[in-house]
Amino acid sequence: MNNDFRIGVDAGGTFTDFVLAEKTGDIHLFKAPSTPEDGTLAIANGLQQIANKFNRPIEDIIQACDLCINGTTVALNALIQMTGVKVGLLCTKGHEDSIEIRLGHKEEGHRYDASYPPAPQIATRDRRFPIRGRILADGTEHEPLNEQDILDAIEVLKQQDVQAVAISFVWSIRNTQHEQRAKELIEQHMPGVFVCCGSEVYPQIKEYTRTSTTLVNAYLSPVMASYVHKIDDYFKALGAEQPVRYFQSNGGLAVGNIMRERAVNAINSGPASAPQAGLYIASAFGIDNIITVDMGGTSFDITMAKSGRTSLNRDIDFLRNRIGVPMIHVETLGAGGGSIGHVNNFGMLEVGPQSAGATPGPASYGKGGELPTVTDANLVLGYLEPDAVLGGCVTLDKDKALQAVQKHIADPLKIDLAHAAFGISAIVNQNMANGIRRITIEKGYDPRDFALICAGGAAGMHIVDLAEEMGIGTILIPKIASCLCAFGQIISDIKYNYLATQMMIIAPDSELQSLNATLHELESLGVQKLLEDGFAEDDIIIERTMEMRYVGQVHECNVLIPNGKLDADSVQTILEAFHHRHKELYTYDERDNKVELVNIEVAVIGKISKPKLPELAKQQGDISQAQVGSREMIMDQEYEWIDTPIYNGEEFGAGALIAGPALIQEPTTTIVIKKGWQAELHETGTYKLTKAA
């Protein structure tokens, strides 16, 4: 069977998106309502749509795929809803409460709020067990491991029906023997219980971060394993030639066996693929600084890439859990099409974070929802066509949208319907703009230096407002915007991250033998794994980064470093990069101060072939032939109804130029072009929006 296809499946909170790429360059989009209770139901629905489209049994299509790729919110949802498994923790005696003390840390905005509740604990106090035995910072054994403590803990864990055990001992990264022996005893006396060690999950300095990351991994891995097992079996039954690849939070793919053991790497599985897709789309325009914004039914996800490199987060608080492993920096807001508008106790309009989700959904879905959402507001404002079929499966009811906005917003605030609907849109736009500021300005980047990439079915109706708010002059909206994350999955590479702690002063005259040996060891581990996966050496690339700080500082800066054996010249290059990044983040550098290396990370990447983007035929004749009508819309605070031309985007050819005000309807995306802006369709199927000359 020829490998004619590649399929990406992105399971979101409201819809599950499908992208099927053909070798010819044709790309097909499909959507199905998400089924959180059983992800295979949504997948079966989407695959049936694909089978109907090609008039072929779905088994034939799956067997003709070189890769089937899945991005999932299973781990994320389990963490949000606190529905992971019951976890026990074995830790060094005296450190039972470090996970609760949290380094004395409170989240931003709550530092001085005495009423702010403590973070919920994955392992409650009665499931945290002190184990005697001590490894020192140099890796020597100060006190032998007390195996009786472990055996006693096992008896209690059995009585509590614990399903997973996390092990995190002090300085285990210097000497893993105690953790490994504890793991052996758990596996021996508690067969079937998932167990993981801090030295395996997060082998870097920082006890609290390591323990928290290990707990999150233990909490989620059995849930993820069940999901992976079900998905793997489903695709095997359809005759898939290759194992399903799962999208990781670090921006790469991994097979199911990896995801079963390291569910912490799947927390941002879905939105983490957006920057890869955005960079691929933007490359046709010579752009490598991008901000992607993905507005779906439930959430609004923002990612960033600078100079062609995605932004990675490390050592962050995610849903009040400290996570150390590398994750694509995704800023997530409760600002999707299903976000609910409401009047708060102070008589002010708010939007989100509550969402109507897929069920019952916005009022206009006609599935029982009665509260007004962003989608309902867009329908009232004229951006969405009444009775339109959304996502291929939901017919919009404008009357229900009008009633919901009138009853819950306009009447309580004593304003007219148009003001109420525009207010919902304006507030959600401000919420989204604030999210963009957090991922750019607060990280030392000027958003005006970036292009804005539109993703998600709802973003096209808000994208120009966001660009104006942030001072961004270029917007790229691909025809595949509504399924951009699924597209990002099918163009992503296999990626494994390896971490280690290497504390030393880094200077041109430093002794580098040990550092070079550690880098080589980490790289060899990844290369060997990819060779076993069938990659040729020429298809493997390596990226190295270092976490460094000025001596006396607490926080580190992450810096990309050159490959190969490090010497005095390459160290000087590394130091210059560190000084530059420190100044970028904090507005100053200390070139006279010594620089300390803390952690190193190696990403080993197996490059896979990329599907081609389509090549559109050139525009023939005037764009008026693509106009399918007009509709009155409100686009600004003048609150004037403007008769706006509506175009069928499928009728445009490459080079088509559309001046605002206008609305472009694509099969799964609606684009609102305000007055003063214009859109030009590129041959790759991407609209480039800029200010009109």
Three-state DSSP string of 63-82: HCEEEEEEECCHHHHHHHHC
- Dig out the tokens for 661 from the structure: 């005000």
Per-position DSSP letters for 139-200, written without gaps between them: S-EEE---HHHHHHHHHHHHHTT--EEEEE-TTTTT--HHHHHHHHHHHHHSTT-EEEEHHH
Phi, psi of 335 (to 5 degrees): -140, 55
The one-character DSSP state at 614 is P
CA 251 to chain centre: 8
pLDDT reported for residue 443: 84
Per-position DSSP letters for 348-372, written without gaps between them: -EEEEEEE-TTTT--GGGTSS--S-
pLDDT reported for residue 160: 95
CA distance 9 to 16: 7
pLDDT reported for residue 1: 42
Low-confidence ranges of the chain (pLDDT < 70): 1-3, 13, 357-358, 388-393
Percent of the chain with pLDDT over 90: 64
Of all helices (H) and strands (E), which one includes residue 557?
Answer: strand 557-561
CA distance 639 to 662: 16
CA distance 103 to 208: 7
- Dig out the tokens for 48 from the structure: 């049936």
Q: Compute how many other C-beta atoms are within 10 angstroms of the C-beta atom of residue 244.
A: 22
319 and 302 in contact (C-beta within 8 Å)?
Answer: no
- Dig out the tokens for 202 from the structure: 């997060």
Q: Name residues whose C-beta falls within 8 Å of residue 428's C-beta, 6 or more positions apart in sequence.
A: 335, 339, 351, 352, 374, 462
207-237 helix and 39-54 helix, angle to the nearest 10 degrees: 40
401 and 380 in contact (C-beta within 8 Å)?
Answer: yes
Condensed to tens digits (0 to 9), the pLDDT of residues 536-562 reads 999 999 999 999 999 988 888 889 999
422 and 634 in contact (C-beta within 8 Å)?
Answer: yes
Q: Is the peptide bond before 661 cis (omega within 30 degrees of 0)?
A: yes
Rounded to whole angstroms, the maximal C-alpha distance in the chain is 83
Strands 642-648 and 662-665: parallel
Of all helices (H) and strands (E), which one includes residue 18?
Answer: strand 15-22
Q: Tell me which amino acid residue 216 is.
A: V
Answer left, alpha or beta for residue 343, where phi above 0 means left and psi between -120 and 50 means alpha.
beta
Distances (CA, A) of 567 to 510, 515, 545: 9, 11, 16
Strand, coil or helix: what is 245?
strand
pLDDT reported for residue 13: 67
Q: Name residues whose C-beta falls within 8 Å of residue 554's C-beta, 6 or more positions apart in sequence.
A: none
Give the closest residue to 596 by CA, choosing from 623, 625, 574: 574
Phi, psi of 640 (to 5 degrees): -95, 135
CA distance 644 to 622: 17
Q: Name residues whose C-beta falls within 8 Å of residue 184's C-beta, 6 or more positions apart in sequence.
A: none
Per-position DSSP letters for 287-311, written without gaps between them: ---EEEEEE-SS-EEEEEEETTEE-
Phi, psi of 634 (to 5 degrees): -110, 125
Give the closest residue to 637 by CA, choosing from 465, 407, 401: 465
198 and 210 in contact (C-beta within 8 Å)?
Answer: yes
Q: Is the peptide bond before 360 cis (omega within 30 degrees of 0)?
A: yes
Q: Is the peptide bond before 353 cis (omega within 30 degrees of 0)?
A: yes
Q: Which residue has the tokens 């970036």?
A: 450
Condensed to tens digits (0 to 9), the pLDDT of residues 238-295 reads 999 888 999 998 888 888 888 999 999 998 887 888 899 999 999 999 999 999 999 8
